[in-house]
């Protein structure tokens, strides 16, 4: 809430409260708070930095306990992004949250609204999110996959890989919801297909967390961020 004072035709806006305005200071204080409140001891340093970003995206330090990952997840993801691998996302909101100027030449691809996807979903009696995943296969080998919305997208990805589709370099699995989210991430974490991954077990997830994972793994870091 602000008070607007009009004096001799000059508008002066007086803040009701004092608050931090400097972007670098806000980032620094935010990440310091996350590190103070979250239990990061079980993570290697490179992954701990990623987990900090995931927590920052949702404001919940307690999610650190539910992060599952493979040993080479961070190195594989960063290598892929350094080489300009495509980034496949299941929802436009995930793509919108990815900071493009942190990437080298990776293309962010969302096929959810491609022509024919809705028809495919109807014919296959599934969701558009699941139907859209089949369009990734020509460029899936060595790619970065970030799923932050639909559990059916993650289920379908794992089905395709089980059937012989190319393996991505990394799967960032953060679908959200009450139906299938926990189950799809448990299936990913079961590591039945030799995939490298980072995921958050349970119902919590979302586009902001998935995008934060990509941003944390990107080759170029923005000042003030880990």
Nearest to 168 by CA among 141, 134, 132, 190: 141
Nearest Cα residue to 213 out of 181, 170, 160? 170
Of residues 38, 47, 48, 56, which has the active-site annotation? Answer: 56
User: Which of 204, 219, 206, 200 shows the shortest CA–CA distance to 144?
Assistant: 219
User: Rounded to whole angstroms, how far apart are CA atoms 179 and 164?
Assistant: 26
- Tokens of residue 181, six digits: 């989210």
Helix then strand then coil, in percent of the chain rounded to 5, is 45, 15, 40
Which residue's entry shows tokens 């799923």?
147
What are the tokens at 32? 């310091």
Q: How far apart are CA 73 and CA 184, in angstroms?
A: 18
Is 56 tagged catalytic? Answer: yes
CB 53 within 8 A of CB 212: yes
Euclidean distance between CA atoms 59 and 153, whole angstroms:
25
Tokens at 23, concatenated:
């972007």
Query: Catalytic site residues?
Result: 56
């Amino acid at each position: 809430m602000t008070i607007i004072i009009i004096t001799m035709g000059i508008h002066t806006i007086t803040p009701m409260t004092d608050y931090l305005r400097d972007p670098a200071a806000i980032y620094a204080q935010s990440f310091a708070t996350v590190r103070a409140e979250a239990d990061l001891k079980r993570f290697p340093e490179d992954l701990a930095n990623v987990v900090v970003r995931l927590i920052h995206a949702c404001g919940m330090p307690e999610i650190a306990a539910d992060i599952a990952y493979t040993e080479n997840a961070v190195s594989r993801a960063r290598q892929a992004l350094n080489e300009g691998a495509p980034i496949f996302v299941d929802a436009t909101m995930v793509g919108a949250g990815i900071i493009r100027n942190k990437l080298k030449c990776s293309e962010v691809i969302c096929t959810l609204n491609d022509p024919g996807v809705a028809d495919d979903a109807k014919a296959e009696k599934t969701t558009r999110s699941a139907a859209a995943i089949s369009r990734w296969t020509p460029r899936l080998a060595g790619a970065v996959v970030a799923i932050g919305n639909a559990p059916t997208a993650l289920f379908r990805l794992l089905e395709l890989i089980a059937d012989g589709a190319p393996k991505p370099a990394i799967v960032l699995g953060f679908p959200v919801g009450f139906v299938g989210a926990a189950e799809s991430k448990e299936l990913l974490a079961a590591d039945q297909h030799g995939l490298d991954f980072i995921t958050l077990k349970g119902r919590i997830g979302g586009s902001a967390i998935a995008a934060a994972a990509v941003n944390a793994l990107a080759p170029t870091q923005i000042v003030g961020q880990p």
